[in-house]
Amino acid sequence: MGCVSSKQLKRDKGYEDPNILAKETTFSVNEVEALFQLYKKISHSIIKDGLIHKEEFQLALFRNSNQKNLFADRIFDLFDLKRNGVIEFGEFVRSLNIFHPDTPMAEKIAFAFRLYDLRGTGFIEREELKEMVLAILNESELILSDDAVEQIVDQTFKQADMNEDGKIDFEEWKAFASKNPALLKNMTLPYLKDITMAFPSFVLNSGASD
Amino acid sequence: RPESMNAFALISRSQGFNLGNLFEK
């Protein structure tokens, strides 16, 4: 008693076969199993049901389960591929795969577009961009006048909205992001290259080979 | 200077995007 075998852990809700996940992603089987260590930690932090709830995601990101953040909300919603309010293990791995250093830039550009298309209209609209600028100002406790915010949004639209129709479509975003790769820096997590180093215990115990 | 700021560069700095925090022990 008191010792939970890896077989029992694997029956957690939302668990998915690492072999399948490794086939679909850049991760090896060992790396998927190391990611399971991280997943397990986050998904048992508040509600111990083996699924990542929004409060648990916020706790892992901010060390505070009540910290509201527009962008964390967006990331959570996009990771929640089944749209059932929780992130399952397979969703966690497939979504983090986009942030892998070896994942093609095109996938990162597409993910960032969905992230910024707050209302899912297929465009990044002026109002959405303004809402996001206001959110980051609020988060960083920076105070700018409404005029200054309008100027930032206008300037950005001047650069990105090539056909000047007042919204940024996917092709425009692709061109803009390709010209400004620094905008996608947050779409790559160097940690994912060394995930088995960060969580080595499972690799030693799992016996999985690639 | 607001006119030289890029909105996407600003918002990409949000802590909400800092998924590296998930890996901090």
Task: Enter the ipTM.
Answer: 0.90
In chain B, the residue whose alpha carbon lies closest to the alpha carbon of A43 is B22
At A199, the pLDDT band (50, 70, 90 cuts) reads confident
Looking at residue A2, its pLDDT comes to 45
Looking at residue A209, its pLDDT comes to 45
Give me Rg for the CA atoms of chain B: 12
Q: Give the closest of B2, B8, B14 to A71, CB-based.
A: B14
Q: Test B14 with A149 for CB contact under 8 angstroms.
A: no
Looking at residue A197, its pLDDT comes to 77
Q: Which of residues 1-25 of B touch A (CB under 8 A)?
A: 2-23
Mean pLDDT of A70-92: 97
In chain A, residues with a C-beta closer than 8 Å to the C-beta of B12 are: 183-186
Looking at residue A125, its pLDDT comes to 97
DSSP per residue, chain B: -GGG--HHHHHTT-GGG-GGGGG--
Q: Give the closest of B2, B13, B22 to A136, CB-based.
A: B13
Does position A100 have pLDDT exceeding 80, yes or no? Answer: yes
